[in-house]
Amino acid sequence: MTLTISERLSSPELLDSRAAWFARLEDLFAGGPAEQVFRMLGIMKYTEADGPDWYVWMDRSLAELGEDAERAADPRVFRPLILNYNPHGVHFIDHLLGAEVFQMEDASWQAHPLSAPIGSLQPPDLDHLPGWQVMKDFARAFLSRDVRGVIFALPTIASALNIALNLYGQEILAALYEDPDAARHDLRVINEVLCDIHRWYLAHIPPEQMQCIVPDGRCQPPGYGQLCGCSTQLLSPRLYRDFVAPLDAGLLAVYPHGGMIHLCGAHAQHIPTWRAMPELRSVQLNDRASEDLDLYFNGLHEDQVLYVHPCAGMPVERILDITGGKRLVLVSDS
């Protein structure tokens, strides 16, 4: 008998395998001993396309994930099946906040900075924004497909600082010194919009199926959130601590168990602040950030888990030498 896509992607075997991996991951977050290195490399269907045919992409992608269902049962590597619809890429929130977002010839997205002065940003009426309505429709359509073995990944909700830089460019950095009240106002407005969007997804997507952006290498146990810390490398420890860290902590606190910060540059100056942030339960390192693994492993709190992407400057062998496999999610199948 030929199984339907729903049956294939909701099979007891698939659900049991994912539950077992989540149990191992929860044990790692709880400080349990690492009997073997936790390896993760998810199977993800991803697009940043923006258009009326999202349902076509959804059904095609679910059919393709159905063909990969057996690979998800890998006993050695956690390979969650993931659907990630991310229109406008890292500029998804910019679009909701009124920025003109456009696509380049290479299909990447960019945004024109806002012309309004810093300090005048107002929260949008999300319920009347077509761009947000599409995302809610997509989420509801996903649930109607009844594919319980597939993880629903959120779009790039990012972080207050990342979005502020998208909206204002370097002017927001100058405002931290020249007009701190205006900068604080807009950062707070942005962060509350981000929190509202996270809250909507938390209220509508089952926790065992919900993860934040690109969870093929960032999947956490159910009930954990994520923010993008890319731009924190531009700030001094004081500026981050005084202006941004409380907002980041507040965003992660929306989730039952806190969550993760994604880092991809030179951010190690903020390790003392992150060590003292109880909402921060994991740190994901890739590219330049991975090269500072030793600093993070020894500087962060012992209950903060490290997700590490190997790179030329931080190969697998060195990752294992630094961590001994402790507090580690190795984003690799090697």
Spans of all domains in the chain = 5-330
Q: How far is CA 237 from CA 270, 271, 331, in A?
A: 6, 9, 28
First CA to last CA distance, the chain: 36
Residue identified by tokens 């012992």 is 302
Token pair listed for 281: 């339960």
Q: Which CATH architecture has domain 5-330?
A: Alpha-Beta Barrel (3.20)
Query: Can you say whether residue 106 is alpha, beta or left, with left for phi > 0 and alpha for psi between -120 and 50 degrees?
Result: alpha
**Which distant-in-sequence residues (6+ apart) come within 8 Å of 228 by Cβ?**
90, 156, 158, 159, 162, 213, 261, 262
- pLDDT attached to residue 3: 85
Q: Are strands 38-39 and 328-330 parallel, antiparallel or unpaired?
A: parallel
Distance from C-alpha of 289 to C-alpha of 6, rounded to nearest angstrom: 39
How many other CB atoms are there within 10 angstroms of residue 268's CB atom? 17
- pLDDT attached to residue 253: 99
Q: What is the pLDDT tens value at each position of the chain, 334 positions in all? A: 578 999 999 999 999 999 999 999 999 999 988 779 999 999 999 999 998 899 999 999 999 999 999 999 999 999 999 999 999 999 999 999 999 999 999 989 999 999 999 999 999 999 999 999 999 999 999 999 999 999 999 999 999 999 999 999 999 999 999 999 999 999 999 999 999 999 999 999 999 999 999 999 999 999 999 999 999 999 999 999 999 999 999 999 999 999 999 999 999 999 999 999 999 999 999 999 999 999 999 999 999 999 999 999 999 999 999 999 999 999 999 8
Distance from C-alpha of 331 to C-alpha of 310, rounded to nearest angstrom: 7
Q: Are 112 and 105 in contact (CB under 8 A)?
A: no
Distance from C-alpha of 152 to C-alpha of 200, rounded to nearest angstrom: 14
**DSSP helix/strand/coil, 94:** helix
**DSSP helix/strand/coil, 36:** coil
- pLDDT attached to residue 35: 79
Q: Are 160 and 190 in contact (CB under 8 A)?
A: yes
Beta-carbon-side half-sphere exposure of residue 314 (alpha carbons within 13 Å): 23
**Taking Cα atoms as reference points, which of 123, 151, 160, 150 lies closest to residue 213?**
151
- pLDDT attached to residue 1: 54
**Taking Cα atoms as reference points, which of 303, 296, 294, 306 lies closest to residue 330?**
306
